[in-house]
Amino acid sequence: MAAFGRWKAQRLARQDCSRRGALDERVAGVVRLLNGRAPFCTTSSCSGRLVLAEGGAALSAGIPKRRCRWLLVAHEPCGCADVMAALENATGNVVFKFEPFVLHVLCQELQDAQLLHSVAIESGFKNSGITVGRGGKIMMAVRSAHCLEVPLTHMGKLMVSEEYIEFLVHVANQKMEENATRIDRFYKHLEAALEAAGGVSSSPSTDTGQVHAVYVRRRKRKTAREQDVLPSPEGHNEELEPGDDPEGSLDIFAGITL
């Protein structure tokens, strides 16, 4: 515990080396809430963004971030005019993206990571997971699958109409609004979970009943579906969404160095 505390203090004292150079305002509350608790240390975060990224000969998803040129980065909804203006500087292959909220948190104990994972899933971040490194470091990643990625130019030539770009921007802005709603929900659920856990002590006596209850409930739902239960009084079966199953969402990989 003392070693984790020392490492955390050193980590939080480091200079912010992100492109922005500071916390995104929308996630500052979440980051401060977690770092204010002994078992957690945030290592990276992004509130969500709209991006125009230009690569060389690569197309679409093949553009490595370190080798691309950023024509536009927005952490708030933007307009079609902003995108069109940025595209005037395009000389290669440009991809328009919406990247949702992501947060990486180093956790002192596995049960601390499980609590965060439970909160993330309940808040709509279905792609969240836990990894355990070879050295025993436990990392919890809060992730979502509601992304958007569309190629717009090839070798500097615009391949779609301005009307289509206007449609894409509208869709991306809707995703940005949903992303903000999920972040707010995550903060409220996290605050309540931490309070219910009594400060999230990392000792073996920590009360993790709420965390385990979430997994037990989902396992029961999965079992009921596999047994082809009768429809509910409302006239439909409750189906699990992709990522709802904790066995698929809780990804613990020993042997991965973080």
DSSP collapsed to 3 states, 155-172? CCEECCCHHHHHHHHHHH
| Percent of all residues in the chain with a pLDDT value above 70, rounded to a whole number | 69
Res. 216 pLDDT band, cuts 50 70 90:
very low
3-state helix, strand, coil in the chain (%, to 5): 40, 20, 40
Tokens 């948190």 belong to residue: 105
For the chain, how far is it from start to end, CA to CA, in angstroms? Answer: 19
For residues 115 and 40, the answer to whether their CB atoms sit within 8 Å is no
Q: Are strands 138-142 and 102-107 parallel, antiparallel or unpaired?
A: antiparallel
Q: Which residues contact 79 (CB under 8 A, 6 or more apart)?
A: 169
pTM, 2 dp? 0.71
Res. 226 pLDDT band, cuts 50 70 90:
very low
Is the pLDDT higher at 18 or at 115?
Answer: 115
Q: What is the pLDDT of residues 150-192, one digit of tens each?
A: 999 999 999 999 999 999 999 999 999 999 999 999 999 999 9
For residues 93 and 155, the answer to whether their CB atoms sit within 8 Å is yes
Closest CA to 152 of 144, 143, 161: 161
- Edge-first strand order for the sheet with 148-151 is 69-74, 49-55, 93-99, 148-151
pLDDT of residue 55: 85
Closest CA to 252 of 83, 70, 130, 89: 130
Judged by DSSP in three states, 132 sits in strand
Residue 147 has pLDDT above 50, yes or no: yes
Residue type, 257: T
238: phi then psi, degrees, rounded to nearest 5: -85, 110
Q: What is the pLDDT of residues 67-112, one digit of tens each?
A: 789 999 999 999 999 999 999 999 999 999 999 999 999 999 999 9
Res. 13 pLDDT band, cuts 50 70 90:
confident
| Percent of all residues in the chain with a pLDDT value above 90, rounded to a whole number | 57
Interval 5-29 mean pLDDT: 78
Q: Which CATH architecture has domain 1-199?
A: 2-Layer Sandwich (3.30)
Res. 37 pLDDT band, cuts 50 70 90:
very high
Interval 133-157 mean pLDDT: 92
pLDDT of residue 12: 81
How far is 14 from 22, CA to CA, in rounded Å?
A: 12
Judged by DSSP in three states, 138 sits in strand
Residue 194 has pLDDT above 90, yes or no: yes
Residue 206 has pLDDT above 90, yes or no: no
Res. 23 pLDDT band, cuts 50 70 90:
confident
Domain ranges for the chain, please list them: 1-199
Interval 56-69 mean pLDDT: 58
Interval 206-222 mean pLDDT: 42
Residue 26 has pLDDT above 80, yes or no: yes
Interval 115-144 mean pLDDT: 94
Tokens 């109409």 belong to residue: 161
Res. 121 pLDDT band, cuts 50 70 90:
very high
